[in-house]
Structure 1
């Protein structure tokens, strides 16, 4: 059993990232830390989910967290900001009583898209999403190094199999620009229920899994 997983840019609980999936198989995780870009108030307005507020004892810039389905969710975490990731991991490690480096060795994201996607032309959206993945990869790598990890960690990326917002070659280029050394593609195609950034739409989408070594 693998111990931990960290997610970034989560939507609502109905669309949460499946952290059990790895290349060619699956694993179990005892501890999962989920983070979302939205503030708690925005998130609750979108998804109307009953939660149990959790107030971090550590002194960080993070103000809102909750226990949802026996997992910690932390709000207002920008995946492109390593300081946000560091604070989130510290809180998760303190709550679960484990080492911070255990949490950040396996990071997951699903269909990461620019918040302004509805107001952008396709070429501009592709460029914005490439920058988002590049900066997120850089931030995850810096956060891992902060916690003393010198070897590679795994960044699991779920992206729509047919993705006009970020074609697979552009995605891979962005991950490499952010510091990925190797990128492996799962041979399986996964079907996920996915929600839009504004929380108003959902759809089942055929999805590829890529694992970047960073």
Structure 2
């Protein structure tokens, strides 16, 4: 009798290697599966549909074929997972808190993770651009919907793009740091937005060192 193809053993092994709970795996798939479903897969009581298997493989940073291969040969070494190098897309209101204390347990359910631009930035995280203030008509531009990668370990320098706040840590802003004489300002790349003067009360959360942008049917997602 032909052996049934399964990904259960590989799912269980990878989840344990990463120290993930079943709920964490469900969250990493964007809520496409639930814990009881994961349990059935790992116990080989159920095989996921192709779309669910793809979501699980993507959460681990691998492929369905690799999960099948690992399940059939459980003693082989695991292929490196991209996920260990990924960074979360943090809500804006959590940016300051996350920069100081990156606790995965506090992230909202279904938080997406992306491969960062710099794997040497272990505390780096993404924010999704939410307005047109940094979308310039020419030169560098950060359109609404794009993901900016923030490095909280860098000390801001003049002309850096940075994220920070003055009074409310849950309402940070994203601007370019400029200087005129001894006075520092936050300047939007979009000329329709005003320049903001800053003082010693301003707190930098991190320096923006790059951007990731995914498109679908002409829309930035």
TM-score class, shorter-chain normalisation, is: under 0.3
Structure number with higher strand proportion: 1
TM-score (norm 1): 0.23
TM-score scaled to structure 2, two decimals?
Answer: 0.23
Q: Which has the larger radius of gyration?
A: 2
